[in-house]
């Protein structure tokens, strides 16, 4: 069915230099399409059919994600974890810096990740003997050229175990028994 005012309105818009996107045209169709689900192959927040996808670099932290939950680690050891970052955008992802949240993390990272490729952010954490029996949560901030999320955080979480009890050296005398020597009657 033709709308009698549609053609004159479109002609006036073109003469005035106004270009309507498919999304704007759908919005003007009224409430009948307002509650309709998005077209196949799109998401509610994504581009409409016929429109170009959002461009630029996009950082995506792959499994296990931005939080690495480590197993219990021995005191005095060093925990090293490589976070894998995928560039899901259509332009190179540049990691400008990785800023530790404390002095106990040491970082190395790939500063250039091509579209569709992956790179690494490697985080090291010295687990001091004084931390025995304690939980830790350490964060680094990645600063990149991702237009949607230029600063994102990566974290290490876990527990430092207790040192094992010292075993007597082979051939050493057993520790003294409280209350006297074995076999002594008091």
Residue 182 lies in a domain: no
Number of domains in the chain: 1
Q: Is the pLDDT of residue 16 over 80?
A: no
User: Residue 139: what pLDDT?
Assistant: 94
On whether residue 32 sits in a domain, the answer given is no
- 8 Å CB contact between 138 and 103: no
**Average confidence (pLDDT) over 62-83:** 92
Mean pLDDT within 21-28: 34
Asked whether residue 10 is assigned to any structural domain, the reply reads no
**Residue 20 belongs to some domain of the structure:** no
In a domain, 17, yes or no: no
* Distance of alpha carbon 31 from alpha carbon 10, whole angstroms: 21
What is the domain extent for residue 76? 59-157
pLDDT of 29: 36
> Is 118 inside any structural domain?
yes
- What torsion do the CA atoms of 13, 18, 20, 24 make, to the nearest 10 degrees? -90
Contacts 24+ apart (CB under 8 A), 154-157: 154/61, 154/66, 154/67, 154/68, 154/83, 154/121, 154/123, 155/66, 155/67, 155/68, 156/68, 156/70, 156/79, 156/81, 156/105, 156/123, 156/125, 157/67, 157/68, 157/69, 157/70
pLDDT of residue 113: 96
Q: What is the CATH number of the domain that holds 146?
A: 2.60.40.10
Q: For residue range 90-116, what is the model confidence (pLDDT) as tens digits?
A: 999 999 999 998 867 877 999 999 999
* 70 within some domain: yes
Q: Is residue 172 part of a domain?
A: no
């Amino acid at each position: 069915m033709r709308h009698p005012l549609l053609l004159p309105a479109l002609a006036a818009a073109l003469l005035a230099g106004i270009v309507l996107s498919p999304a704007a045209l759908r919005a003007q169709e009224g409430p009948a399409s307002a509650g309709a689900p998005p077209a196949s192959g799109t998401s509610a927040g994504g581009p409409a059919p016929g429109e170009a996808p959002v461009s630029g670099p996009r950082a995506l932290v792959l499994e296990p994600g931005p939080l690495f939950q480590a197993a219990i680690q021995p005191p005095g050891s060093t925990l090293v974890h490589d976070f894998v970052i995928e560039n899901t955008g259509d332009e190179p992802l540049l990691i400008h810096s990785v800023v530790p949240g404390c002095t106990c993390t040491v970082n190395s990272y790939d500063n250039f990740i091509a579209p569709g490729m992956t790179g690494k952010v490697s985080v090291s954490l010295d687990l001091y003997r004084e931390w025995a029996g304690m939980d830790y949560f350490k964060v680094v901030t990645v600063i990149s050229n991702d237009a949607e999320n230029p600063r994102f955080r990566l974290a290490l979480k876990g527990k430092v175990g207790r040192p094992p009890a010292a075993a007597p050296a082979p051939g050493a005398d057993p520790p003294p028994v409280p209350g006297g020597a074995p076999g002594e009657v008091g």
